[in-house]
Amino acid sequence: MNWVLSKLKGDRVIWLVIIIISCGSLLAIYSSTSSLAFKYRDGNTEFYLVKHFALIILGLIVMYVTHLFDYRIFAKYSQILLFITLPLLAFTIFQGKEAEINSATRWITIGDQSFQPSDLAKLAIMIYLARVLTEKQEVLKDFQKGFLPILAVVLLVCAFIAPANLSTALLIFICCLIMMLVAGIDLKHIGGFVVIGLICLVLLVLIAPRAATWKSRVVDYVERWTDPNYEVNDQTAQANIAIATGGMFGKGAGNSTQRNALPHSYSDFVFAIIIEEYGLFGGALTLFFYLLLLFRVAVIVTVSKTFGALLAAGLASMLVIQALVNMGVTVGVLPVTGLPLPMMSMGGTSIIFTGIMLGIILSVSRSALENSGQDQEGAYAV
């Protein structure tokens, strides 16, 4: 045990949170894939359990390996990574309906694996931004010299992603915003950043082919809160049934009935199944662990304002925002969008990229601990 612990560098609490969420994920996925197993595997539910378990292990290995690297290496390659990502993003926009999954054209297929270049873009822009925010501390005060180039890159990436995947673009935009806030950028500049972002959004809505979908989702969302006779769509209704029948402590592990009725219960809507099986309590616990993860990262930021701290802040907010958005959609406080629940949902690329992100966060934490030279447990006492 000690040997294992000695191999795990970085914040132990973060490690613990990851392990707990992964275990929860195994339980939730095993239960919610029963309908998939029914459909494709002749009822062999273990197939998806084993597959998901293997992916989680792979994700943990990726995370472990990544956390052994010095995160500063990533800074070096961030620009190159960004330059690779942009053409890939362009490719997904123009490839039309080639790789259509859930009617959004955002996937690239290599062999029989498909991945979303936007996953890569998220990582690239975070690292890049962390680096420039750290390096150009001095010139940042100058709007034209310092801030505008950063703004341009962020908006460019978002603009490339937005037509096919608006929610990821918004997510990246918000995470960049948070990094800027944490980096101490002038509030006026940040205000400008937000305004320009909003203008771009409006332009996009006017020209993008998927605008009708967004509009209907937003209109649907507004109606839900304003129209007393509003009838929710089937997916939301099924999610609500799952939540309502879950009660305080849920139906118990594996006792979900809505998993059969709720589409994508193993990916985008896994939170509904968690509440159905573990109740409000289980849902709150899940939220708590994500917030705990964020909190531990925030502690790093309070003690240092380095490239690493900014990067960790960006990545952690990205993971946690995505988690909160996913849960918000599931329970209906946000309009429908297709973001998976990080570390929970089934899906190969999501788990691998989450692993990389967590690896980087742990790498930052590891190096912060080593630099402080203090006892690990007390390292981030607030």
Instruction: Output 8 or 194, the one with its CB closest to other proteins.
Output: 194
Torsion of CA 145, 148, 150, 156, to 10 degrees: -140
Residue 6 Cβ vs other proteins, minimum distance, rounded to whole Å:
26
Establish how many alpha carbons lie within 13 A of residue 31's alpha carbon, considering only the half-sphere containing its beta carbon: 28
Least distance CB 296 / other proteins (angstroms) = 11
State the Cα–Cα distance between residues 359 and 46, nearest whole angstrom. 28
Beta bridge partners of 110: 113
Residue closer to other proteins (CB basis): 52 or 82: 52
Distance in Å, CB of 371 to other proteins, minimum = 8
Q: Output the smallest distance, CB 240 to other proteins, in A.
A: 5
CB of 261 to other proteins, least distance (A): 4
Q: Which is nearer to other proteins, 11 or 121 (CB)?
A: 11
Task: Tell the smallest beta-carbon distance from residue 304 to other proteins (Å).
Answer: 5
Residue 94 CB coordination number (10 Å): 9
User: Which CB sits closer to other proteins, 109 or 302?
Assistant: 302
Shortest distance, position 305 Cβ to other proteins, whole Å: 5
**Least CB distance to other proteins at residue 234 (A):** 9
Residue closer to other proteins (CB basis): 304 or 349: 304
Which whole-number Å values give the CA distances from 131 to 74, 285, 321, 361, in the listed order?
9, 34, 21, 15
What is the Cα–Cα distance from 77 to 71, expressed in whole angstroms? 11
Give the residue with the Cβ less far from other proteins, 40 or 77.
Answer: 40
Residue nearer to other proteins on the CB measure, 89 or 323: 323
**Can you name the residues that pair with 109 across neighbouring β-strands?**
114
Looking at the Cβ atoms of 93 and 298, the one nearer to other proteins is: 298
**How near is the Cβ of 337 to other proteins at its closest, in Å?**
15
Q: Are 340 and 350 in contact (CB under 8 A)?
A: yes
Give every CB contact of residue 320 below 8 A, 6+ residues apart in sequence. Answer: 290, 291, 293, 294
Q: Compute the distance between CA of residue 350 and CA of residue 97 in angstroms, rounded to an integer.
A: 22
State the sign of the Cα–Cα–Cα–Cα dihedral 75, 77, 83, 84.
Answer: negative
Binding site for other proteins (CB under 8 A): 34-40, 42-43, 178, 181-182, 184, 229, 231, 237-238, 240-241, 243-247, 257-258, 260-261, 263, 275, 280, 283-284, 287, 290-291, 294-295, 298, 301-306, 317, 320, 324, 327-328, 331-333, 372
Q: Which is nearer to other proteins, 40 or 83 (CB)?
A: 40
SS3 of 193-261: the string is: HHHHHHHHHHHHHHHCCCHHHHHHHHHHHHHHHHCCCCCCCHHHHHHHHHHHHHCCCCCCCCCCCHHHC
Task: Tell me the C-alpha distance between 283 and 331, whole Å.
Answer: 11
Its sign, for the CA torsion 147, 149, 154, 159, is: positive
Q: Which of 340, 215, 323 is nearest to 268 (CA)?
A: 340
C-beta of 92 vs 256, nearer to other proteins: 256
**Least distance to other proteins, CB of residue 333, Å:** 5
* Under 8 Å between Cβ of 238 and 262: yes
3-state secondary structure at position 1? coil
DSSP E strand stretches across the chain? 108-110, 113-115
